[in-house]
A and B are shown apart, each in its own frame.
Chain A
């Protein structure tokens, strides 16, 4: 089974530009979550998509947006890039459990996209 795939692996963008990151989940997984990882703030939840709908959202400005396609692939977009957006962006996919009794199933992470804003 192929793991979670994120593309591209590395990106360098200029302040003010926009960027789109892509995530292909494990086959059969319908939930895709995005995280920002920085040395200062650690791992912070951005948003989660399930069946093409945003199900959860973290505390990030509206410049950060995402979407999910019918094949569960997800994209994340950041507009008007700022220097502080430089980070490792991680995507995770999971197959939702069958209710509270089974809890949340394991989240499988991609290797991340390293975004550098100059």
Chain B
């Protein structure tokens, strides 16, 4: 079964502290993994995707196929990073609009 698990509902850190939002997935194949973010009163938007291997707003995420994980990391959290973060999986067959989301983690960055 295809599944995405985000074990933490809420992650609270102080400004400047490192952040790691956990994501584990279950998929029998080669999935594509994404992180989506929803800031307060804004629509859901793509933060980054594993296929791009890029850093966005200081965030990075590495796909670990052995551990079936795609954790999101940032070395120094900023207050503007406070938001809801969703890890998502796509079937990986290409050209499909089906995303399977985790339950989401609320990141709270305290001053």
A: residues with CB less than 8 A from B are 3-4, 31-33, 35, 42-45, 48, 50, 55-56, 58, 90, 92, 94, 96-97, 99-100, 102-104, 106-112
- Whether the Cβ atoms of B94 and A92 lie closer than 8 Å is no
- Whether the Cβ atoms of B90 and A104 lie closer than 8 Å is yes
What is the CB-to-nearest-CB distance from A45 to chain B, in angstroms, rounded to a whole number? 5
The CA-CA distance from A58 to B100 in the complex, in Å, is 10
In the complex where A33-B99, A103-B51 touch, is A109 in contact with B43 (Cβ < 8 A)? Answer: yes
Interface of B is mostly: loop
The CA-CA distance from A65 to B92 in the complex, in Å, is 25
What is the CB-to-nearest-CB distance from A50 to chain B, in angstroms, rounded to a whole number? 7
The CA-CA distance from A97 to B51 in the complex, in Å, is 13
- Whether the Cβ atoms of B100 and A45 lie closer than 8 Å is yes
Q: Can you add 14 more A-B contacts, CB < 8 Å, to A35-B99, A55-B97, A112-B43?
A: A4-B43, A31-B95, A32-B97, A45-B101, A48-B98, A92-B99, A99-B95, A100-B94, A102-B94, A103-B49, A103-B94, A104-B94, A104-B95, A109-B44
Q: Which residue of B lies closest to A111 (CB)?
A: B43
